[in-house]
Chain A
Amino acid sequence: MASISMTVNGKSVTGTVEDRTLLVNFIRENVGLTGTHVGCDTSQCGACVVHVDGIAVKSCTMLAVQADGRSVTTIEGLASGDQLHPVQAAFREHHGLQCGFCTPGMIMAAVDMINRYGANLDEATIRHELEGNICRCTGYHNIVKAIQAAANEMAGLTQAAE
């Protein structure tokens, strides 16, 4: 067993976990944030994507102890209060979700993608970048549209702020 502490969505949390405890289980069971999902056992589906120190990580592929002392953002920490993150808003606007199970991971992966590419995201890049996220419901069509729209919008926002 190990004692760990980390920041999750801006709040500091501590816990005692088995060495083999995965970050996703720590988030879901110890911290009680169930927006991060588990869709596979082989690090393929991306339902579990969170940000660790600002970078997208599959939380089923990281031990909780590896996140000790680091800062984790989950889907629950993305909006500022009632203000949805532009990627969240775009998923709703463009019907980028159906059952919603893949959605938290998709949104967290998309935010990371937009952080890396800015407005330079075309359809082919988005589709390629989504290779670590599986959605069974949407056929990806509207997810791609949503990410493209959010990227454009965020680029506009950044330009406006500059």
Chain B
Amino acid sequence: MGVEGIGARVTRKEDKRFITGKGRYTDDIALKDMTQAVFVRSPHAHAKILSIDVSKAKAAPGVVDVLTGADLAGDKIGGLICGWMIHSKDGTPMKAGAHPAIAFDKVRHVGDQVAVVIAETKNQARDAAELVEVEYEVLPAIIDLAGATAPGAPQVHAEAPNNLIYDWEIGDKAATDAALASAARIVTMDIVNNRLSPNPMEPRSAIGSYDEAEEHFTLYNTTQNPHVARLVLSAFVGIAPEHKLRVVAPDVGGGFGAKIFIYPEETVALWASKRIGGRPVKWTADRTEAFLTDCHGRDHVTHAEMGFDANNKIVGFRVHTIANLGAYMSTFSSSVPTYLYATLLSGQYDIPAIHANVEAVYTNTVPVDAYRGAGRPEATYLLERMMETAARELGEDPVELRRKNFITSFPHQTPVIMCYDAGDYEAHMSKALEASDYAGFAARKAESAARGKLRGIGLSCYIEACGIAPSQAVGSLGAGVGLWESAEVRVNPVGSIEILTGSHSHGQGHETTFAQLVNERLGVGINNIQIVHGDTDKVQFGMGTYGSRSGAVGMSAIVKALDKVEAKAKKIAAHLMEASEADIVIENGELKVAGTDKKLPFFQVALAAYTAHNLPAGMEPGLKEGAFYDPSNFTFPSGTYVCEVEVDPETGKVEIMQFVAADDFGNIINPMIVEGQVHGGLAQGIGQALLEGVSYDTESGQLLTGSYMDYTMPRADDVPSFNVMHTKTVCPGNPLGMKGCGEAGAIGSPPAVINAITNAIGVRDISMPATPAKVWAAIHGNA
């Protein structure tokens, strides 16, 4: 391993601009003659729009224009789409209602946009927005997912009777029913996965700019996938053909899923810029708007039964889940509670029969889509709460029950599509148990008890499928796009290198890790390597960053392009040194003839490629290669997390005494960055378990958690320092043997925390977030 190569803890190339205040986020961009947009949003969860009077607002100081859904429809701007088709078990396609970028007949959640005010300054736009008069006929709202399909419930979309979007299933129902019928014991659980708001710290922002002379649009946007945004805005929304629309994602301040989707606001910023004659239109969310419009995550209610034989081996698992998709179907919402969730219900266990039935429903709430982990945290939470509870009820140690049911040989085909390629679950389990001194827990518990405190320990063994995804496979399951990735390697005549990638970094450190890969292969110093991403005018089509795919898929594309560059460089070097191509090796930035002292520095070969004075006969000049990489399978990171808590019975406050995370991510490029990804995921998972939860008034549909005064974000003194470690089984499916680490922490941690709390206070279940009030009530029997 070189100092800047694969495996090195290299500090990040991108950091200098961020620590000196020179990052360039969307809201930092000020274009000439730029205007400011403020949306008028519905105060009602569900209402008919009877009339909108914009005359007073239009006359207000500084106002450039006020636009409504009728204007949008008049210009034939299409609605937003959901890009993954799910079929119900009866074969019918999902029932999606329309999703206009500005509502025109009906509003469907508090915060739904009904008009946009464009003014010279943001304050002027805000003031004028107050003057837009909207007359509503308020309708009863349906907020709670459990009642959404009940007869007589308010209807969110006419297209989806009983608010049912789809009623989907996976697995073998008959086999699962039979397995459960023959089981020695059945453990039953009702589990709620709480609704969360992703909350990247940078609020969403968009600047739309229209060039009248060129009939060309530019969008600066807080997006995780600029090419997908361009595709959707072109092909479906109909803003402009792709070659007339450039999407730029500059520095993006965190995403966690919330910035994957194509939202109404960027659509409107682009369209409005054209409407007002080409002046740029900027919109930046304030935090309350973020709570009201950024897609939420999770929000499942599940009933599950797991059957065991007399030896405590699992014989079958039956799951029924209702998933709340909110008021509109967001870009990838349909895939989250189906193929990203139920396909992981086998976890790390050998389960012969699984059947899952998922009903997705509309409610008058903010749309729900992927949030860090997307479906996999929900599966893991269900399964690991189930395993822990089963262990307690079967009278078996939770470690032993898991061990007994672990999958131990690979590849392993689960009953729910996935074929696990590699893993060693015992390895990370033993490592985590040792690191947490699991064996010494009883003594620590006694010590806590002596101080009047309740101590508990909980495990979670997660698996996730990431490196999304083999295009053909996802296509057959309904995805509207392929999920490959692209790369281009441009070697400059002086030997410095630009890597153009379809991946997008919004905190993951690609500028460093991708450069480390190139350094490993070509020996070029990372300061002579530039990673170019996030601009559809610069970078070839790419799919962006989510689902822990940028290492396993994005870097694999770079490997494929590097292979081609290397092959050509070797040909040139062989020609120049009059050697056989097969004898050329690349080491430390030099092309050498093996077994001799003949060598050429890489930059000389690059120069030769561009001067083209002496190239092998028939070879094209230049040294630049591209590749598209389509993975052959998902990758399957797995791990064991151990959480130990101490509960104060007087206050119900939970303190995390230690948190151990042992993950198998396959090969790792930069351990420092990987550990950072785990830390961040753990804090989000602990946040879900202890602090966070979107809350609505179920009568009025008002969002009760609309600011940081009400929605509890994890802060520094809510989380401990983490004890993070790795085991390794190499992923056979991609050239780097990598698995993906971006979501693991958020997937594995919630059940570990809740298992520890329920262990400490001796209750069967407690719903997330386990706030002090809830924990206190559970201890004192007032739950």
Contacts and interface: CB of A to CB of B under 8 A. Distances in A.
Given A34-B28, A74-B21, A98 B672 contact: no
A74 B713 CA distance: 25
Interface residues of A, number: 57
A83 B579 CA distance: 49
Interface string A3-24: 0000000000000001010000
Given A44-B709, A107-B19, A136 B680 contact: yes
Interface string A102-140: 111001000000000000000110111011011111111
Contacts of B12: 92, 95
Interface in A12-64: 18, 20, 28-29, 32-42, 44-45, 47
A97 interface: yes
A127 B655 CA distance: 14
A62 B673 CA distance: 36
Interface in B661-713: 672-673, 675-677, 679-684, 707-709, 713
Contact of B676 (A39, A79, A98): A98
B21 A136 contact: no
Most buried by A among B675, B677, B714, B721: B721
B352 to A, nearest CB: 38
B716 A39 contact: no
Contact of B716 (A40, A45, A107, A144): A144
A79 B202 CA distance: 24
A104 B251 CA distance: 14
A136 B713 contact: yes
Nearest to B256: A136
A33 B21 contact: yes
B589 interface: no
B252 A99 contact: yes
B251 A142 contact: no
Interface stretch (B73-81, B356-364, B408-416, B506-514): B506-514
A31 to B, nearest CB: 12
Nearest to A33: B21
B679 A142 contact: yes
Nearest to A105: B201
Contacts of A127: 716-717
A139 B200 CA distance: 13
B18 A103 contact: yes
B16 interface: yes
B741 to A, nearest CB: 13
A109 B59 CA distance: 43
A102 B21 contact: no
Given A36-B21, A39-B201, A141-B679, A100 B251 contact: yes
A40 B287 contact: yes
Nearest to B372: A136
A34 B284 CA distance: 14
B540 interface: no
B47 interface: no
Contacts of B23: 35, 100-101
B208 interface: no
Contact of B287 (A39, A76, A91): A39
Nearest to A123: B721
Interface string B21-61: 11111011010000000000000000000000000000000
A99 B254 contact: yes
Contact of B683 (A75, A102, A131, A140): A140
Contacts, number: 179
A136 B684 contact: yes
Contact of B722 (A38, A133, A139): A139
Given A84-B20, A137-B680, A95 B11 contact: yes
A100 B707 contact: no
Interface string B503-531: 00011110000000000000000000000
B20 A41 contact: no
A30 to B, nearest CB: 11
A128 B202 CA distance: 23
Contacts of A37: 25, 201-202, 253
A104 B200 contact: no
Contacts of A136: 199-201, 254, 256, 680, 684, 713
Interface string B275-307: 000000000001110000000000000000000
Contacts of B507: 98-100, 137
Nearest to A21: B123
Most buried by A among B286, B507, B717: B717
A102 B253 CA distance: 8
A101 B25 contact: yes
B203 interface: yes
Most buried by A among B288, B677, B716: B716
Contacts of A133: 715-716
Contacts of B745: 139
Contact of A135 (B201, B203, B707): B201
A144 B721 contact: yes
Most buried by A among B16, B201, B675: B201
A41 B707 contact: yes
B254 A131 contact: no
Given A88-B20, A92-B12, A93-B11, A138 B676 contact: yes
A151 interface: no
A42 B190 CA distance: 36
Contact of A130 (B256, B716, B721): B716
A143 B716 contact: yes
Contact of A99 (B200, B288, B709): B200
B717 A99 contact: no
B15 interface: yes
Given A99-B506, A127-B716, A131-B716, A42 B682 contact: no
A113 to B, nearest CB: 11
Given A98-B254, A135-B201, A75 B123 contact: no
Nearest to B679: A139
Given A41-B707, A102-B201, A79 B20 contact: yes
B15 A97 contact: yes
B719 interface: yes
Contacts of B252: 99
Interface in B431-460: none
Nearest to A124: B717
Contacts of B722: 139, 141
B253 A42 contact: no
B20 A76 contact: yes
Interface in B94-143: 123
Most buried by B among A76, A101, A137, A144: A137
A115 to B, nearest CB: 18
A78 B487 CA distance: 37
Nearest to A134: B713
A104 B22 CA distance: 10
B298 to A, nearest CB: 16
Contacts of A97: 15, 18-19
Contacts of A39: 201-203, 287
Closest 9 CB pairs of A and B: A35-B21, A100-B18, A101-B253, A99-B507, A139-B683, A75-B21, A139-B679, A98-B507, A44-B708
17 contacts: A34-B21, A34-B24, A34-B25, A37-B201, A38-B203, A38-B286, A39-B287, A44-B709, A75-B19, A76-B20, A92-B11, A95-B12, A95-B673, A100-B18, A104-B21, A136-B254, A139-B719
Given A101-B254, A143-B716, 14 more contacts: A42-B707, A42-B709, A44-B708, A88-B20, A93-B11, A95-B12, A99-B252, A100-B17, A128-B716, A131-B716, A136-B200, A136-B254, A141-B679, A142-B679
